Amino acid sequence: MLVRMARAFRVCLFILGALAIAPATAQPVNPDVSAYLAARQQFDAQLAAYWNSIAEKRRVRNAKRRNGEPVVLQDYVLTQPPVYAGPPRPPGVPSPVPEGPAPMRKFIPEIDDLLKAAKAEFNFMPDMASEAEFKRIYAKTAVAAGLTRDQAVRIYSFETGGNGTYDVQAGLTTPRRPGAKAISPAIGYNQLLNTNSVGLLAGHGEHFVDALNKKTSGLNGDAKTRMQWKIAVLQRMIAYSRTVPNAWAEHDNLAFTPGGLAIHSMVLDRDMGPLLQVQKLLNSILFARSKGYKTPLTASELAMMNLTGDGNGYDIVSMPSAMRDHVPTSNFFQQGGYERNSVAIRNNVVSSLLAATDAKMDRASKEPGARELAAAF
């Protein structure tokens, strides 16, 4: 209710602002302005109705699944999002206010920020590895978790373009373009967000501690001392990750604090990085199994769960093939996320999105980095 009131208030401000371009004297309103405002108002109403129907259909599908009822084609919105086709915005008319509450813009931390936070908050620096060594550890960890080489290599290829290093950050490709800036805190072979890192420690902290303890048993001297220190730091990070409720929004807020940035630095560590990256993929596989989906996930299906979240991803992978040509990809996104995702917009039905994902995986799997990772298996 408050969101709808806020939207209505902003629309009123937009219209008042547009009308304010006319002089205070009693002059007629420009007919081009009137036509544009009327068209925009009609379009905005259509757009709001469309995304409300997306949310309502999603609630229906979730309820059906909880009750063990089959989901059918009519449980999805089968039309594409409306596109504005009215008169152009006249000069001097302010741009329409975006729908929904304006998100607070957070700074995008880069690796230097993570390392500084780790040092300041936990007196910790990740134990870096060579790229070849990290790939070997990652492959060993993936196999132990039950992931296949095909899944791991193709996900890596999709997320990094087939040449990403273990410390590659979204927007900072290899080789880095002059003046390039990070576009997201996502780092690594599976492009983990800082929010993912916080959530993984909160949810699987004991598993990670056990894994490092097992490594400790085979070490001696300084190497054993360093590992024991790493475990102590990890336990403090786990405790910090659990200072908020176990929910995405809470983890997201914590992820941008100095302690949250320090936690994200663990994705760079030779021991913890592979564990975090693999656990994220394994969680998606286990989620699908928990819903009764026993068929092994293809790499592109696993990518959908990584891209849209486990709930929406499961909605995609469990969909019968005959329905995939008819269901728009908008069904699996929030409005803002969809409008920022050019791939989902271009490939606007499920079958096309899966095919585009497979095609990118096919191309990128031929790159040197992908071949090196495949060889590590």
What average pLDDT does the structure give for the chain? 88
Comparing 34 with 10, the larger pLDDT belongs to 34
How many CB atoms within 10 Å of residue 284?
21
Which pLDDT does position 12 carry in this prediction? 47
**215: closest CA among 280, 267, 269?**
269
pLDDT in tens, 11-33: 444 544 544 444 444 456 677 78
pLDDT for residue 2 is more than 50:
no
Which pLDDT does position 297 carry in this prediction? 92
Structure tokens at 103: 């998100």
pLDDT in tens, 317-367: 999 999 999 999 999 998 988 888 888 999 999 999 999 999 999 999 999
Task: Report how far apart, in Å, the C-alpha atoms of 348 and of each of 190, 325, 357 are.
Answer: 24, 10, 13
pLDDT in tens, 62-84: 999 999 999 999 999 999 999 99
Could you give the percent of the chain with pLDDT greater than 70? 89
pLDDT for residue 239 is more than 50:
yes
**Cα 68 to the center of its chain, rounded Å:** 29
What is the mean pLDDT of the segment spanning 171-182?
A: 75
Phi-psi region of 100 (alpha: psi -120 to 50; beta: other; left: phi over 0): left
Cross-strand partners of 349: 328
Confidence of residue 175 (pLDDT cuts 50, 70, 90): low
**165: closest CA among 358, 369, 371?**
369
pLDDT in tens, 178-223: 777 888 899 999 999 999 999 999 999 999 999 999 999 888 999 9
Model confidence pTM above 0.85 = no
Which pLDDT does position 96 carry in this prediction? 67
pLDDT for residue 59 is more than 80:
yes
Which pLDDT does position 109 carry in this prediction? 94
Asked if 348 and 355 count as a contact pair (C-beta separation under 8 A), the reply is no
Asked if 283 and 196 count as a contact pair (C-beta separation under 8 A), the reply is no
Give me the DSSP letters along 254-318.
HHTSHHHHHHHGGGGSTTHHHHHHHHHHHHHHHHHHHTT--SPPPHHHHHHHHHH-HHHHHHHHT
Task: Report how far apart, in Å, the C-alpha atoms of 62 and of each of 45, 71, 78, 332, 373 are.
Answer: 26, 9, 17, 12, 38
Mean pLDDT is lowest, of 114-128, 133-147, 257-271, 305-319, for 305-319
Which pLDDT does position 24 carry in this prediction? 46
Which pLDDT does position 28 carry in this prediction? 61
Which pLDDT does position 34 carry in this prediction? 84
Comparing 103 with 182, the larger pLDDT belongs to 182
